[in-house]
Structures are given as C-alpha cells and as structure tokens.
Amino acid sequence: MHSVRHDKRSRRGIATVVTSAILLTTVTLMGTGVVAWSNSNLFGHERVLESSYSTNINKINEYLTVENVWFGGIGPSQFVNITMNNPSTIGLNVTQIQLKTSTTSISQQFTNQPVLPKNSISVQFSYPYTSQVPVSIYITTARGSIFTTQALPP
C-alpha cells in the first residue's frame, strides 16, 4: 500500500517534469523562431532601406553641368565636343549622350565615362551637325539622371 502510494507520487512527478520540458522546449522553439524571423525580416528591411537611401541620396546629390559645347570639322569629319563638369560631392558615370534636333536624334553610348567630384571631362565624337540648327543635348548617368542643355552649331 505504502509502495503503491509511493509509485503514484513518483509517476505524477514525471508527468510534471515532462510537461515542463515540453513547455520549455515549445517556448524555446517559438522564441527562437520568432527572433530568427524578426531578425531576418528586420535586417532585410534594413538592407532595402540602406540601398534605397544610398540610391536616392546619390541620385539627388548627383549634378552635372555642360560647360561648353563646340562643333568642328568639315563634311564627314564633323564632330561635337562636349565638356561636362561635376561640381557635386559624389562621382558619376555618363552612360549616354543624346543629341536631338527637330528632325534627327543621335545617341552615343558610353561604358565607362566617370566624372569625379569637382572635375570635368570632355568627350568628342562624330556628329553631322547642320549650321544654325539648334541641338538639344541629353546626358544620362548610370543612376538614371538626365541633364540637358542646348547648343547652336556655327
């Protein structure tokens, strides 16, 4: 009788331990899962935010002026020379220069045409201009900014 009572008490104790262990395990697993999920989620958002921030800020800070445009050459060797100045504090990469008149549109692509901060570059390429016909110049950067100006061939 005494031993039966003893066995009953010890069995009841095991169940409690098992229950506690299950509870603890469950809490641990859930906590770990939630923490892992939240970290992953929040860090992911942080990365997106950082990327978005740097992209937008750089695009906002990007600034380019066209210092001078001059046209030269005769006949088939006509060319245009464009000097661009980057007065901003971040570097930029010119990827395309488009020259448009009322009747023509010519694009010049560039793979690597960096303009360092507080520096200027000149690019020259073949362009069959017509005298006294205004040309609109669109300069596109790697970040997608477009800077425009106009010039009048002599």
Helix (H, G, I), strand (E, B) or coil at 151: strand
Q: Is 27 in the site for other proteins (CB under 8 A)?
A: yes
- The region of 49-57, 93-101, 106-114, 138-146 touching other proteins under the rule CB under 8 A is 49-57
As measured in angstroms, the least distance from the Cβ of 97 to other proteins is 18
Q: Give 3-state DSSP helix, strand, coil % of the chain, rounded to 5.
A: 40, 35, 25
Q: How far apart are CA 8 and CA 42, in angstroms?
A: 50
Instruction: Report the residue from 31, 114, 134, 144 that binds other proteins according to the rule CB under 8 A.
Output: 31
H or E element at residue 150: strand 146-151
Helix (H, G, I), strand (E, B) or coil at 10: helix
Count of residues of this chain found to bind other proteins when the rule CB under 8 A is applied: 39
- The region of 80-88, 97-105, 106-114, 136-144 touching other proteins under the rule CB under 8 A is 80-88
Instruction: Report the residue from 6, 45, 104, 150 that binds other proteins according to the rule CB under 8 A.
Output: 45
Tell me how many helices (H) and strands (E) the chain has: 1, 8
Q: How many CB atoms lie within 10 A of CB 152?
A: 12
Q: How many CB atoms lie within 10 A of CB 39?
A: 10
Q: Is 81 in the site for other proteins (CB under 8 A)?
A: yes
- The region of 60-68, 91-99, 101-109, 137-145 touching other proteins under the rule CB under 8 A is 60-68
Q: How many CB atoms lie within 10 A of CB 21?
A: 10
**Which residues are at the interface with other proteins (CB under 8 A)?**
16-17, 20, 23-24, 27-28, 30-32, 34-35, 38-39, 42, 45-46, 49-50, 53, 56-57, 60-61, 63, 65, 67-68, 70, 72-73, 81, 83, 85, 87-88, 118, 120, 154
